[in-house]
Amino acid sequence: MQKEVELLKSLFLEQGFEQKTLKIQGEKVYRVQIGGLRHYKRESGQIYKSLTTFLNAVMPSNRHLDNWKMNMAAELGSREAVDEYVSKTADYGTALHIAVADYCRDNGVDWQQFEQQAFCMLQESGLSAESIEYALPEFIRDFAGLIKFFHDYRVTVLAVEIPVWMEEGVATLIDLVVEMDAKNYDKTPVEKRDRHHAVINLKSGKKGFYESHILQLVGERMMFNQLYAESLGFEIEHVYNFAPADWKEKPAYKIKNQTETIGFDNMVEQFNLFLQIGKASKVLSAPSKKYPVFSGRTEYGANPCDALTMHTYDEFSKLKIEKHHADSKTN
């Protein structure tokens, strides 16, 4: 179940990375969900649309994705059931990110303990007991595939779920920032292998990667470089989509370097065009809806309007954040 207000912190930061980005990491960023609307809000007050919500609003309809949703609706019984399935998939992905962060922090995984740990991660992510029963074996297999990728590409994880944003009004969490081998080398000596920094977006589905997934990487790379490149002394060029694979005898995965695709298809230009569309169509504007807040006491027979104040989304989200702080202090 989504919280109304959540203070966002990276799940894991490599020590050197954290030291170089202390100032940026020090600014509080919140994820606020009110009345079905989800935004990010910085301590400075600016409101941001989530990257996936923004892209869904401005991109043309994807025929393959629409067909998938239609087939899933027929299988599950309704479009509402598809929405619930997508939400559960997001919860599953969150649990996988937590598992990766623990793996980095503990410098490994104890498989005898991992099944119970995985159960707790899925439970805390909001999945029902029925969903966990189905998801747990798959989760363990998917996690094994991910750390097989870490082994094959000699991955050093620098950050897990790191908040990023751009002044145009978009924000997100980057799944992984890493340093890795440029390919899965076999017999090449370690000292002769090319390495690079990269952003990796983890997808829990096994149906392949769509154009929106690539544009998501464009936005993530752009925001990361704007925020962190100067402090870190490097810019990220390479971006990857990762997805678990069905496997029988040994862990497997799908990894796709989308960097060349972005260049060939002029996707940076496309993303910038979508930003202009988002601004012109007010997709990136704060919601115009007003929210009622009642205070004090209304006596029997008295007018409740006397206790009512209407707030803008900005004001209302600020009240929710203040309540979140107050509740955190009492708990």
Residue 160: name the closest of 234, 226, 115, 103 by CA.
103
Domain parsing of the chain, residue ranges: 5-280, 291-330
Residue 17: name the closest of 227, 216, 219 by CA.
227
According to the model, what pLDDT value does residue 104 have? 97
Tell me the three-class secondary structure of the chain, residue by residue: CCCCEEEECCCEECHHHHHHCHHHHCCCEEEEEECCEEEEEECCCCEEEEHHHHHHHHCCCCHHHHHHHHHHHHHHCCHHHHHHHHHHHHHHHHHHHHHHHHHHHCCCCCHHHHHHHHHHHHHHCCCCHHHHHHHHHHHHHHHHHHHHHHHHCCCEEEEEEEEEEECCCEEEEEEEEEEEECCCCCCCCHHHCCEEEEEEEECCCCCCCCHHHHHHHHHHHHHHHHHHHHHHCCCCCEEEEEEECCCCCCCCEEEEECHHHHHHCCHHHHHHHHHHHHHHCCCCCCCCCCEEEECCCCCCCCCHHHHEEEECHHHHHHHHHHHHHHHHHHC
Q: What is the pTM of this model?
A: 0.88
- Estimate the crossing angle of helix 111-124 against helix 79-105, to 10 degrees: 140
According to the model, what pLDDT value does residue 74 have? 62
According to the model, what pLDDT value does residue 85 have? 44
**Mean pLDDT per 10-residue section of the chain, whose length is 331 residues:** 84 96 88 87 91 90 54 57 50 88 96 93 81 86 96 97 95 97 91 96 80 93 96 96 92 95 92 95 90 96 97 93 87 69
According to the model, what pLDDT value does residue 86 have? 46
According to the model, what pLDDT value does residue 77 have? 61
Round to whole Å and give the CA distance between 251 and 244: 9
According to the model, what pLDDT value does residue 61 have? 65
